Copies of this chain bind each other. A is one copy, B any other.
Amino acid sequence: MNSKKLQKATNISWHEGEISRFDRYKILPQKGATIWFTGLSGSGKSTIAVALEKALYKDGILSYRLDGDNVRMGINKNLGFSEKDRQENIRRIGEVCKLFGDAGLIAISSFISPYTHDRDDVRQLHIESNLEFIEVFVDCPLEVAEKRDPKGLYKKARAGKIQNFTGIDDPYEPPKSPEIQLRSHEMSLESEVSAIINYLNECGIIKAKKNE
């Protein structure tokens, strides 16, 4: 999606806030960033996202988890599952992440987000805003995810009760160079969370605790 094409409103200008992101960093123990999970339904995205949120919280770090289900009940409740609506779904979530990042929080986004194009648009949005975008590919084979089927959605998709279901009759495009790749069916939850926390430390988004 070309962001220039989308821009409808005229007579507007970017209003630079008097208090900037960098001011907020002075009163926060972290820098703003987006951790963007992507992977099949049942791959373990939400489980890792929830565990990550907990681990960050234990260190006093403020993050906020955006979840497909929650967002669908709120800001994106007027979107369905057509191709256009799915794209707009991801676009809005990306914009919300950007706002959270600008506010100084670590946004944790946990959506299938199957298309490279949509994810790259969100990445571009972050690059333009000088915000760190950390794509975490939760890499789980379809057969494992389908066997787990925590919401019974694969079963419904196989029975033809849900159309355009990622992995069944709609493609999942794996990221080519994600910041982090987690082979979730071969790793412990603890090691998955550690991999992300280590990355955040290395990027300087959070500070490693001393004496640990």
Contacts and interface: CB of A to CB of B under 8 A. Distances in A.
A6 B53 contact: no
Nearest to A53: B19
Contacts of A8: 77-80, 85
A100 interface: yes
A103 interface: yes
Contacts of A13: 69
Contact of A6 (B78, B95, B96): B78
Interface in A65-107: 65-70, 72-81, 85, 88, 92, 95-96, 98-100, 102-105
A142 to B, nearest CB: 19
Copies in the complex: 2
Given A6-B78, A8-B80, A103 B15 contact: no
A7 to B, nearest CB: 5
A68 to B, nearest CB: 8
A158 interface: no
A197 interface: no
A203 interface: no
Interface in A38-68: 46, 50, 53-54, 57, 60, 62, 64-68
Query: Closest 3 A-B residue pairs measured CB to CB?
Result: A75-B95, A64-B103, A15-B69
30 contacts: A6-B77, A6-B78, A8-B77, A8-B79, A9-B79, A11-B153, A12-B72, A12-B73, A14-B69, A17-B53, A17-B65, A17-B70, A18-B53, A19-B53, A19-B54, A23-B57, A24-B62, A27-B60, A62-B62, A62-B103, A64-B99, A74-B98, A74-B99, A75-B92, A75-B95, A75-B99, A96-B96, A99-B100, A100-B100, A105-B105
